[in-house]
C-alpha cells in the first residue's frame, strides 16, 4: 500500500562536500545540460550519462542515489535525449515521489512523471476503465480493516484489534504475491510466515473479504495493481497505448519490488529495455509485505547487457558510523550478503558510537533523554535527533522520558503535517492574505516575506517564544514555527519572493507531502525511518528478543533483522548511540543481553567481526563511553514483615516485600504475563492519559499493568483483587480494562477498527 510519509526528506549532499543547509532547498536551475553534471562524483556521473539500454545502480546507504537518478533524468531531458512526458520514474512512497518531482523541477526537468506504483497504476486504471470494462471505476477504499472485520464476522470469527491488523496484513501479502484464498495456506507455509490465526481461518476471511468487496462495489489498493495488470494483459491495444506514452522507466528502491509490481513493470515495458533500476539488497527490510530483492539480484541475469554502476561513497555518515554499519553486515549470510556494498565514508572523522547498557527500560529511556538534552545544549537541533526502536509499542516510555526532560518530540507515522488542524487553518489565512496583497491581515507589502508570514501566524496564536512543557499546545506551536522557518528559507533563496509565491510553494509541498522540518526529536520505528537521516540517532532496545525480534526464527528472518539494524545505523550522520536494557521493569530479572548483531563490534564482546570489522579503525572499540548507569542489583535478602500480615509469593511461596506486593510474586520469580495483553493495556493507558492530560502513571503504574496482564481477570471480582486497582480506579477504568482483557476494543480504539490498515 502507498503510505505517504510525513517528515521532511533527508538532507542530501553535493557529491562529497558538506551536508546541505536550508538554503540549498531552493537552488538555481542549472544553465545547461552539462551544468546538470556539475558536482557529481565519478560514479554518480556514470549513472547520469548512462541513458540507453538497461542500467542497474547498486547504491549503498547515503551514497546519493536519488541525486544520481534525478540528475540522470534531468541530463537526458536537458540534452534533448529524453522527452519529459515519456519518462516515468517510480518509487514507493508519496514523499519520495514528491521529493523526486521537486528535484527534477529544480534541475529544469519539469513535466517528468514521478509517482508511486499505485499512483501511476490508478491514473491508468481510471483512464482506461470505461474503455476496457465500461461504466465508472468502483470506489477505492483507503482503509480496509473494517471490511476485514466484517469478513471475519461473516465467517463467525472474533478478532481483537491486533489480530484484525495482522489478518489484514496477510491479505495484503497474499494479493501482492498473487495468492488466491484457496492457495493461502500452502503459500504461507512455504514462505515460513507466522500466521496470526490458523491459516484455514485466514483463508476463509480472505475469501469472504473478496466477496464483500464485490457485493459492495469497492476495490482496495492491491486491486488497483491487479486490475491494471489484468487490463494490460487482456487488451493489447491499451497496453500499446501506455507503451507509446512511456518510453523510459526509472525504478527507485528496486529491492522492495513485489512480484505483482514487477509484473506491472514488465507489462509497461513490453519488449523494450529502456529501464534504470536503483537499489541495495542490504536494505531489504519489507519482505513481510511481499517485497523481495530477487528482482534486483537477478537483474543482470535477465539483462546480460546491462550497465552496472556501484555507488559506495557515503556522503552522509562519518567514518565511525560507516565502520559500524559495515561491521554489522560483515557476518551476514545469504544472497543479499553476497552482494553487499562496502561503504567508504567521505566525511571528516566524528565521535565514536556510544554503547550503553541499562538495568531496565525506564532507565534506558531516561538515559537517552539525558544524552539528548546534552546534545541540544551543545548546539544540535532537536529536529536533527531521532530515537529509533524495533516496534511502535516501545514508543511510549520514550515519549514520557522526553516529556519529563522538557524535550519536544514528534511521532513519525502520526497525523500528516499538512493535515494538522493548525497547519490547514494557517494555510487558509496565508492564502487570504496573499489574495488581498496582505491588506486583509494588516500587512505592509514593503515588509519582507518572513515578517509577513510571522504576522499572519501570530494571528493564529504563534509566538516568538515556545510555550513551556510538551503536549498539544507545544505540538501546535512547533507546527506554526516550522512554517515560519520555511518562509525564512524561501526568502533567502528567492529574495524577491512575495507572499503569493510562498503560498504557491506551500501548495507544491502539500501535493508532494513535502513537509518542513518540525523542531522536535523524532520517535520512529526502524521500518518507518527508512529513507530518512538525522545528525544524531539513538538505537534503543538493541537486545536479544527485540533485535532480532523473538518471532524471527528462520535464517532468512534473522538476516532481515540484521539488515534492519544496518538501516538504523546508517540513518546517523555524526552521533550514534546504541543501547539495551537487561530487564523490562525496575527490579526485574536481568535475563537479557545485547543483540548478537553487536558481537565483536561493541567493547567487551567477542566474535569473528573483531576490531575494525568492515574496514578501518571505525568506532567499535576505541573511545567508547562506558554506560552512565550502573546495573541495579536487587538486595541479597528481602525485608520481612510481621507474622500476622505476611505476604507470600504466588509462585515460590516466599515472603514478599512492599515493592513486590503489587505483583504478588518475587521479582526473581518467572512471570506468566500475557505479553499481548500487556501491550494493549499500555496502548490504552497512553490514550487515556493523553485524554486526561496526565502522565501515564497517574492512570496505572507499570507494575499494576504487569499485574493485570499476569492475572488476566475475567470479571470485576478478579480485577478488584489486583493490587494497585483501588476503588476509585476501578470505578474510572474497570470496564475498559475488563473489555481489553476480553479482547474487545474500547473508546477511541473501537472507533479505530476502521482506521489504519
Please answer whether residues 153 and 204 qualify as being in contact, where contact means their C-beta atoms are separated by less than 8 angstroms.
Answer: no
Tell which residue, 147, 156, 131, has the closest CA to residue 222: 147
Please answer whether residues 251 and 90 qualify as being in contact, where contact means their C-beta atoms are separated by less than 8 angstroms.
Answer: yes
Q: What is the pLDDT of residue 15?
A: 36
Tell which residue, 388, 352, 383, 391, has the closest CA to residue 368: 388
- Could you give the CA distance from residue 735 to residue 117 in angstroms, rounded to a whole number? 45
- Could you give the CA distance from residue 658 to residue 72 in angstroms, rounded to a whole number? 68
- Could you give the CA distance from residue 511 to residue 35 in angstroms, rounded to a whole number? 28
Cα-based distances in Å from 730 to 681, 694, 709, 715, 719: 15, 18, 16, 12, 8
* pTM metric for this prediction: 0.66
Q: What is the pLDDT of residue 697?
A: 72
> Which segments of 72-188 are extended strands (E)?
87-91, 113-116, 139-140
Residue 553 CB neighbours (<10 A): 11
Largest CA distance in the chain: 93
3-state secondary structure of 78: helix
Q: What is the pLDDT of residue 447?
A: 77
- Could you give the CA distance from residue 427 to residue 589 in angstroms, rounded to a whole number? 53
Average confidence (pLDDT) per 10 residues, the chain, 757 residues: 33 33 55 87 94 92 93 93 93 85 88 91 93 89 87 86 83 91 90 84 93 92 93 94 94 92 94 93 87 90 93 95 95 86 94 94 93 94 93 79 84 64 87 71 66 90 69 68 85 87 83 64 90 95 90 86 96 96 84 92 66 34 33 31 48 57 61 77 86 75 84 86 79 89 73 42
Q: What is the pLDDT of residue 613?
A: 36
In whole angstroms, how large is the CA radius of gyration of the chain?
27
Q: What is the pLDDT of residue 652?
A: 63
Cα-based distances in Å from 602 to 150, 516, 577, 591, 628: 50, 36, 12, 19, 16
Handedness of CA 446, 450, 455, 460 (dihedral sign): positive
User: In sequence order, which residues have a C-beta less than 8 Å from that of residue 283 and are 6 or more positions away?
Assistant: 61, 255, 530, 563, 566, 567
- Could you give the CA distance from residue 349 to residue 573 in angstroms, rounded to a whole number? 11
- Could you give the CA distance from residue 228 to residue 192 in angstroms, rounded to a whole number? 29
Planar angle of CA 644, 650, 653, nearest 5 degrees: 60
- Could you give the CA distance from residue 299 to residue 277 in angstroms, rounded to a whole number? 9
**526 DSSP 8-state letter:** T
Planar angle of CA 137, 140, 142, nearest 5 degrees: 170
Strand 572-583 to strand 354-360: parallel, antiparallel, or no bridges (unpaired)?
parallel
How long is the chain? 757
Q: What is the pLDDT of residue 623?
A: 30
Cα-based distances in Å from 565 to 176, 282, 326, 340, 377: 26, 10, 11, 15, 28
- Could you give the CA distance from residue 252 to residue 254 in angstroms, rounded to a whole number? 5
Residue 731 CB neighbours (<10 A): 9
Kindly tell me the burial class for residue 548, based on how many C-beta atoms sit within 10 Å of its own C-beta (0-12, 13-18, 19 or more). Answer: buried
Strand 344-345 to strand 409-411: parallel, antiparallel, or no bridges (unpaired)?
unpaired
Amino acid at each position: 500500500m502507498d503510505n505517504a510519509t510525513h517528515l521532511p526528506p533527508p538532507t542530501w549532499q553535493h557529491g562529497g562536500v558538506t551536508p546541505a543547509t536550508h538554503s540549498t532547498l531552493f537552488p538555481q536551475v542549472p544553465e545547461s545540460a552539462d551544468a546538470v553534471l556539475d558536482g557529481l562524483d565519478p560514479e554518480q556521473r556514470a549513472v547520469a550519462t548512462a541513458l540507453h539500454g538497461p542500467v542497474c545502480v547498486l547504491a549503498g546507504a547515503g551514497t546519493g542515489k536519488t541525486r544520481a537518478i534525478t540528475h540522470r533524468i534531468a541530463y537526458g531531458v536537458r540534452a534533448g535525449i529524453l522527452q519529459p512526458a515519456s519518462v516515468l520514474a517510480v518509487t514507493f512512497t508519496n514523499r519520495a515521489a514528491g521529493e523526486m518531482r521537486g528535484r527534477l523541477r529544480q534541475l529544469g526537468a519539469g513535466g517528468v512523471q514521478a509517482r508511486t506504483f499505485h499512483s501511476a497504476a490508478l491514473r491508468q486504471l481510471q483512464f482506461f476503465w470505461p474503455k476496457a470494462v465500461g461504466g465508472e471505476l468502483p470506489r477505492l477504499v483507503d482503509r480496509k480493516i473494517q471490511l476485514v472485520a466484517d469478513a471475519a464476522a461473516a465467517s463467525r470469527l472474533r478478532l481483537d484489534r491486533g489480530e484484525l491488523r495482522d489478518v489484514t496484513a496477510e491479505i495484503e501479502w497474499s494479493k501482492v504475491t498473487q495468492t488466491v484464498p484457496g492457495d493461502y495456506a500452502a503459500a504461507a507455509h512455504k514462505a515460513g510466515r507466522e500466521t496470526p490465526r490458523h491459516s484455514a481461518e485466514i483463508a476463509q476471511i480472505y475469501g469472504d473479504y473478496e466477496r464483500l468487496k464485490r457485493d459492495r462495489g469497492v476495490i482496495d489498493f492491491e486491486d488497483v495493481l491487479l486490475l491494471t495488470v489484468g487490463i494490460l494483459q487482456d487488451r493489447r491495444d491499451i497496453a500499446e497505448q501506455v507503451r507509446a506514452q512511456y518510453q523510459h522507466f526509472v525504478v527507485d528502491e528496486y529491492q522492495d519490488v513485489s512480484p505483482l509490481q514487477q509484473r506491472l513493470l514488465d507489462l509497461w515495458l513490453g519488449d523494450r529495455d529502456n529501464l534504470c533500476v536503483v537499489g541495495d539488497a542490504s536494505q531489504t527490510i519489507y519482505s513481510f509485505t511481499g517485497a523481495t530483492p530477487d528482482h534486483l539480484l537477478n537483474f543482470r541475469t535477465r539483462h546480460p547487457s546491462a550497465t552496472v554502476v556501484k555507488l559506495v561513497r557515503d556522503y552522509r555518515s562519518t567514518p565511525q558510523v560507516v565502520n559500524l554499519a559495515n561491521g554489522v553486515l560483515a557476518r551476514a549470510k545469504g544472497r543479499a550478503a553476497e552482494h553487499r556494498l562496502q561503504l567508504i565514508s567521505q566525511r571528516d572523522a566524528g565521535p565514536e558510537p556510544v554503547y550503553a547498557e541499562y538495568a531496565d527500560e525506564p532507565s534506558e529511556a531516561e538515559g537517552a533523554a539525558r544524552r539528548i538534552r546534552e546534545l541540544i545544549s551543545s548546539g544540535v537541533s532537536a529536529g536533527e535527533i531521532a530515537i529509533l526502536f524495533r516496534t511502535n509499542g516501545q514508543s511510549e516510555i520514550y515519549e514520557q522520558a522526553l516529556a519529563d526532560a522538557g524535550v519536544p518530540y514528534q511521532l513519525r507515522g502520526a497525523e500528516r503535517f499538512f493535515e494538522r488542524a493548525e497547519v490547514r487553518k494557517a494555510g487558509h489565512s496565508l492564502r487570504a492574505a496573499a489574495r488581498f496583497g496582505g491588506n486583509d491581515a494588516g500587512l505592509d507589502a514593503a515588509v519582507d516575506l518572513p515578517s509577513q508570514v510571522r504576522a499572519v501566524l501570530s494571528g493564529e496564536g504563534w509566538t516568538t517564544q515556545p510555550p513551556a512543557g510538551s503536549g498539544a499546545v507545544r505540538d501546535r506551536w512547533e507546527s506554526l514555527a516550522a512554517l515560519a522557518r520555511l518562509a525564512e528559507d524561501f526568502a533567502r533563496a528567492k529574495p524577491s519572493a512575495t507572499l503569493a509565491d510562498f503560498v504557491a510553494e506551500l501548495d507544491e509541498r502539500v501535493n508532494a507531502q513535502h513537509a518542513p522540518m518540525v523542531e522536535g526529536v523524532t520517535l520512529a520505528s526502524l521500518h518507518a525511518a527508512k529513507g530518512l537521516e538525522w545528525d544524531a540517532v539513538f538505537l534503543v532496545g538493541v537486545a536479544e528478543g527485540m533485535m532480532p525480534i523473538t518471532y524471527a526464527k528462520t535464517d532468512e528472518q534473522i538476516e532481515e533483522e540484521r539488515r534492519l539494524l544496518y538501516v538504523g545505523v546508517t540513518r546517523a550522520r555524526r552521533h550514534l548511540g546504541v543501547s539495551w536494557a537487561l530487564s523490562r521493569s525496575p527490579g526485574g530479572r536481568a535475563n537479557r543481553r545485547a543483540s548478537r548483531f553487536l558481537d565483536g563490534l561493541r567493547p567487551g564482546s567477542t566474535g569473528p567481526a573483531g576490531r575494525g570489522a568492515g574496514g578501518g579503525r571505525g568506532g567499535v572499540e576505541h573511545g567508547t563511553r562506558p554506560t552512565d548507569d550502573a546495573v541495579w542489583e536487587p538486595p541479597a535478602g528481602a525485608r520481612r514483615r510481621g507474622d500476622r500480615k505476611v505476604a507470600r509469593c504466588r509462585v515460590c511461596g516466599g515472603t514478599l516485600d512492599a515493592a513486590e506486593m503489587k505483583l504478588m510474586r518475587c521479582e526473581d520469580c518467572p512471570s506468566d504475563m500475557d505479553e499481548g495483553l500487556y501491550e494493549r493495556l499500555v496502548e490504552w493507558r497512553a490514550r487515556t492519559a493523553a485524554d486526561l492530560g496526565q502522565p501515564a502513571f497517574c492512570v496505572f503504574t507499570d507494575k499494576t499493568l504487569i499485574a493485570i496482564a499476569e492475572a488476566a481477570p475475567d470479571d470485576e471480582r478478579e480485577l478488584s483483587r489486583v493490587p494497585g486497582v483501588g476503588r476509585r480506579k476501578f470505578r474510572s477504568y474497570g470496564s475498559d480494562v475488563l473489555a481489553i482483557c476480553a479482547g474487545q476494543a474500547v473508546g477511541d480504539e473501537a472507533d479505530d477498527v476502521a482506521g489504519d490498515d
